[in-house]
Structure 1
Amino acid sequence: MPHLPSRTWIRALVGIAVALGTFEATRRYRQLASAPALSDTSRALGIDGHHVQAGPWRLFTRSVGAADAPVVVLVHGLVISSRYMEPLARALADNGYRVLAPDLPGYGESATGTPRRVLSVEQLADVLDLWLSACAIDKATFIGNSYGCQILTALAVRHPQRVERLVLQGPTVDPAARSLLPQLWRAVRNGRRERQRSSAAIGRIDYAKAGVWRVLGSIRHLLHYRIEDHLAAIEAPCLVVQGSRDPVAPPHWGEAVAARLPKGRLRLVEGATHTMNYVHPHSFAQLIDDFLREGRDASEVVR
């Protein structure tokens, strides 16, 4: 009968395997967290980056487009930074806009030097207000994805003078799934549907930069803020853009959001998923352009 290794040897081997796994995970985590602000792909898209001091916050801001073009601001979703907004930013710049996309405090390139405290939805909206002042922008059009829609809702309610128009794409959170496990399951389903053009690699970088504590705190704020309680107070014209295959913010929820907005309307994009700004940037940019041109045409008629 073959000699079996003793329990001591088995424990030693398991310990070595765990140690090696931990070492490799730590090495990979540090590698992701130290990824540069702008990749070769970013530069190929013409994306520039700079820091803006907004009150106590030093916010990294991506930008693209002619300096004298109409300004559009992109607001990122949960934990992920404006890094995944780059395809949409390029598409909007090609349509004649000056696009700015800040990393909010604690996320992406604005993670360094940020207090451990995780800001709430309302606090992030107030930071956006400070950032606008620092950028010498009185009023702008804002486009948000997912959690960014909650932040923009808070901005439009707390600082209505800042908002010209709003575009809410895949707004969270559907009240039917306001708990952790359903949200995680929906995110997994969306990831499967976006496999052919996934932002997962970017997400891993941004989650590493934010850290576990901020990820957990951000999820808590996501689930706590009830966007449906604030939509009726938004004064600005608002376009809700909804993917027909979005499991995170299902189509029926997009319809409910648009119905609660005083000046809201819904555009359903057949076949689109949750991260439309990354997966379908050109189709999304065209919808935004149509919406904004409509507003400019109306103002010209008034004159």
Structure 2
Amino acid sequence: MTELTGRYADIDGTRVYYETVGDSNDQSVVLVHTAGADGRQWRYVAPALADRGYHVVVPDLPGHGKSYPTEWEPHVRIGQHADAVWALGERLGLEQPAIGGCSIGGDVTLDIAVKHAANLTAAVAMEGAGKTRGAQLSRLSHPHALPGWQDVLDYSVIDSTGSDCPPEYRTELAWQHRGAQEVATNDLQAWADFDILDDLHRAACPVMLVRGDTDYFIQDDMFAETVERLPDCEPIVLDDVGHYPMMERPDEVTELLDDFIGRQ
């Protein structure tokens, strides 16, 4: 199986990490991960798609994995993630790419489809919807929620660096220690706030909406209202699959992506 290659790109003044696999002359597919995670969630599907003749790009969203956040602040809206993914595609010169994602990545996929339908070959949104809901978690990022924990991480950086260490490097080190906890809560808050139902009519490209039937994050009504409002939607329900189809059933997801994108 073909190996992924990692690179960095400057997006909105920050270092965004992404991996690619496949020939850049082939149909490009951009795959987006779930909340608080990174592109490793696609490590089984991406090479398999490349072996089927696709050029696959798998970013770590800003603040996730090996990507740093913009101005050291996590994104708080799905639209911010979507804009960063699209900016990466433009930086890489991708023409008429397909976009796919899961969970917040599914929401990102729908957001991109609404904003850039004419420039997409297809979109595959898994475990996402036009309107998603969940617990209000942004308050968990506030120091009063878990007093001391993130502060301890910061203090450990300050106390363990030399006196000549530049302040901007201390900031970078602090993010390396505390970032995963901070982006996850903001991702889930962005999920809870996401609502583009009234804009879904603008997602005029072919869209496949995928849901695992045991995923309690996507209720029947959320799925149905998204299918109803998308102008060109192919709904798929996977039996005995939960919130992470690309990890639970990578071969099946590869087949779904290949079949759907290949028909466009």
TM bin, normalised by shorter chain, reads 0.7 to 0.9
Alignment match, 1:132:
89
| Matched ranges for 1:1-303 at <5 A | 46-111=3-68, 115-172=72-129, 177-180=133-136, 210-251=179-220, 253-295=222-264
CA deviation string 1:219-277 (max 9, x = no partner): 22111111433322211110111212222224553333222210011112222221001
| Cα distance in 1 for residues equivalent to 2:90 and 2:130 | 29
Assess if the C-alpha contact under 8 Å between 2:130 and 2:200 holds in 1: no
Runs (4 or more) in structure 1 with deviation over 4 Å come to 172-175
| Cα distance in 1 for residues equivalent to 2:118 and 2:50 | 25
Counterpart residue identity of residue 290, structure 1: D
- TM-score normalised by L of structure 2: 0.77
| Cα distance in 2 for residues equivalent to 1:112 and 1:178 | 23
Q: 1:209 to 1:48 in 2, by over 3 A?
A: farther
Q: Tell me, what secondary structure is at the counterpart of 1:265?
A: strand
Larger Rg: 1
| Cα distance in 2 for residues equivalent to 1:283 and 1:116 | 36
| Cα distance in 2 for residues equivalent to 1:51 and 1:119 | 23
Counterpart residue identity of residue 218, structure 1: D
Counterpart residue identity of residue 248, structure 2: V
| Cα distance in 1 for residues equivalent to 2:240 and 2:25 | 35
| Cα distance in 2 for residues equivalent to 1:87 and 1:145 | 14
Counterpart residue identity of residue 159, structure 1: H
| Cα distance in 2 for residues equivalent to 1:139 and 1:127 | 17
Q: Unmatched 5+ residue regions in structure 2?
A: 138-175
- TM-score normalised by L of structure 1: 0.67
Displacement of 1:57 in angstroms is 2.9
Assess if the C-alpha contact under 8 Å between 1:173 and 1:222 holds in 2: no
Displacement of 1:210 in angstroms is 2.9
Identity %, equivalent residues: 23
Assess if the C-alpha contact under 8 Å between 2:60 and 2:67 holds in 1: yes
Q: Tell me, what secondary structure is at the counterpart of 2:188?
A: helix
Q: 1:139 to 1:257 in 2, by over 3 A?
A: same
Q: Tell me, what secondary structure is at the counterpart of 1:245?
A: coil
Assess if the C-alpha contact under 8 Å between 1:170 and 1:241 holds in 2: yes
Alignment coverage as a number of residue pairs:
226
Displacement of 1:72 in angstroms is 0.7
Assess if the C-alpha contact under 8 Å between 1:107 and 1:209 holds in 2: no
Q: Unmatched 5+ residue regions in structure 1?
A: 1-43, 182-206, 296-303
RMSD: 2.4
Assess if the C-alpha contact under 8 Å between 2:100 and 2:123 holds in 1: yes
Counterpart residue identity of residue 210, structure 1: G
CA deviation string 1:178-219 (max 9, x = no partner): 3349xxxxxxxxxxxxxxxxxxxxxxxxx9763333222222
Greater share of residues in helix: 1
| Cα distance in 2 for residues equivalent to 1:107 and 1:287 | 27
